[in-house]
Amino acid sequence: MLEETAGAPRGPAEGRPTEEGAKPSPSKEDYKGIWVYLEHAGGVPAPVSWELIGEARRLAKDLGAEVSAVLLGHGVHPLADEAFAYGADRVFLIESPVLRDYRTRPYARAVVGLVEKHRPEVFLLGATAQGRDLASTVATTLATGLTADCTSLDIDPETRDLRQTRPAFGGNIMATILCKNRRPQMATVRPHIMPMPERREGRRGEIVPESFGMTEDEVAAKVLRYVRKRTEGIPLEQADIVVSGGRGVGGAEGFAVIRRLADALGAAVGASRAAVANGWIGQDHQVGQTGQTVRPKLYIACGISGSIQHLAGMQSSDLIVAINKDPRAPIFEAADYGIVGDLHQVVPALAEAFERLIKEEESGAAGRAAADDGGVGEENQ
């Protein structure tokens, strides 16, 4: 049952140990280029892939390298064009029915094959379930370094090493990691950490098709079913406005005022770790180091003190509003607008105010639309 591989880093082929007299292994300098894994679920791309292409472009400037995307699947050719639009120079494409659904073995085999053939210097993947599963397998097979959940990346100008910074100890400390001697330097990055790059329609690049020899019989894992999660309200991931409740909310019932404000603004409901830990709201709503990272246009933090761990999850929001009883709460330092007050009074009042403003806006728009001869209602200035 167990394979008799030595503990040393694996050789080129799966299962076979490095043979004596084999070709000398490539040196660091032979590795060039920044790769980004293009994650998708049945052809639907994960936005983190684009974020990483944007980041890769930024790093590529410092390295004088090219950016390539790795795309595996079945019938996913159109995604290559998207990759180019977001800034990739090249897309390595492997099409095979065996790769239609993500499964560790075939995907890892395909990726390892690509890496060994084309030798990237840096390989970035999204820190999603799929990305982390794949990255760990690939990094172990290649006996190279992998840093998880990076919050920032940059190139050391002298050594050309990738400096990978990430949180540890539950977010209490930050560490900068280096992979000095092995290549590729692999890192996973969470969604929404890096900004979404500009999409330029019509940008072109090179598609490099590669073959893949694994058959379905060789793959033991079979995906039987997929059940989509039903989130109440708008998922945090996609919302442009997030209204979050923290310890100050005081209980599960307290979240009703948060929800009301969220409904008024068409927003998603978020929560701090304290609120989730107390069982006032589900884990899906948690924003922060150990929850989700969000970058909405507007983030309203109610009864949240603003610990580093929470800020890590939302501090890149365009606009931040803080409502808290304690004038010294750290959240105010990160906020564009703030009210020192009791959220149980302020938040319902806020909801009412927005509801009124929106009603005016909507009826005004309707009125204008009626007044114009069916022209476009220019309600958005």
| 313 is an interface residue for another protein by CB under 8 A | no
Q: Say how far apart CA 317 and CA 274 lie, in whole Å.
A: 21
Half-sphere exposure at residue 33, Cβ-oriented, CA atoms within 13 angstroms: 19
Q: Say how far apart CA 60 and CA 122 lie, in whole Å.
A: 10
CB of 325: closest distance to another protein in angstroms?
A: 8
Binding mask 122-141 for another protein (x = CB under 8 A): ------xxx-xx-xxx-xxx
CB of 164: closest distance to another protein in angstroms?
A: 8
| 196 is an interface residue for another protein by CB under 8 A | no
Note whether 31 and 183 are within 8 A (CB).
yes
| 301 is an interface residue for another protein by CB under 8 A | no
Query: What is the helix (H) or strand (E) element at residue 208, kind and residue range?
Result: strand 206-209
Residues 6 or more apart whose CB falls under 8 angstroms from that of 41 comprise 102, 130
| 147 is an interface residue for another protein by CB under 8 A | yes
Within residues 336-355, the interface with another protein by CB under 8 A covers: 336-342, 345-347, 349-350, 352-354
Considering beta carbons, is residue 224 or 371 the nearer one to another protein? 224
CB of 8: closest distance to another protein in angstroms?
A: 6
Considering beta carbons, is residue 278 or 316 the nearer one to another protein? 316
**R_g over Cα of the chain:** 24
Within residues 1-60, the interface with another protein by CB under 8 A covers: 1-3, 5-9, 15, 41
Considering beta carbons, is residue 175 or 206 the nearer one to another protein? 175
Binding mask 200-239 for another protein (x = CB under 8 A): --------------------xxxxxxxxxx---xxx-x-x
Q: Say how far apart CA 245 and CA 250 lie, in whole Å.
A: 9
| 319 is an interface residue for another protein by CB under 8 A | yes
Terminal Cα-to-Cα distance of the chain (whole angstroms):
67
Considering beta carbons, is residue 94 or 347 the nearer one to another protein? 347
Within residues 355-374, the interface with another protein by CB under 8 A covers: 357-358, 361-362
∠ Cα 179 208 124 (to 5°): 25
Binding mask 154-183 for another protein (x = CB under 8 A): ---------x--xxxxxxxxxxxxxxxxx-
Considering beta carbons, is residue 4 or 202 the nearer one to another protein? 4
Q: Which stretch binds another protein (CB under 8 A): 26-34, 56-64, 203-211, 305-313?
A: 305-313
Tokens of 146: 């992998």
Within residues 261-300, the interface with another protein by CB under 8 A covers: 263-267, 296-298
The amino acid occupying position 234 is I
Nearest to residue 210, comparing CAs of 88, 82, 69, 83?
69
Q: Say how far apart CA 275 and CA 310 lie, in whole Å.
A: 12
Number of residues in contact with another protein under rule CB under 8 A: 115
Q: Say how far apart CA 318 and CA 294 lie, in whole Å.
A: 10
CB of 19: closest distance to another protein in angstroms?
A: 16
CB of 206: closest distance to another protein in angstroms?
A: 30
- Burial class of 11 by CB neighbour count within 10 A (0 to 12, 13 to 18, 19+): middle
Q: Which long-range contacts (CB under 8 A, 24 or more apart) does 349-352 make?
A: 350/261, 350/323, 351/257, 351/260, 351/261, 351/263, 351/264
Within residues 52-91, the interface with another protein by CB under 8 A covers: none
CB of 187: closest distance to another protein in angstroms?
A: 10
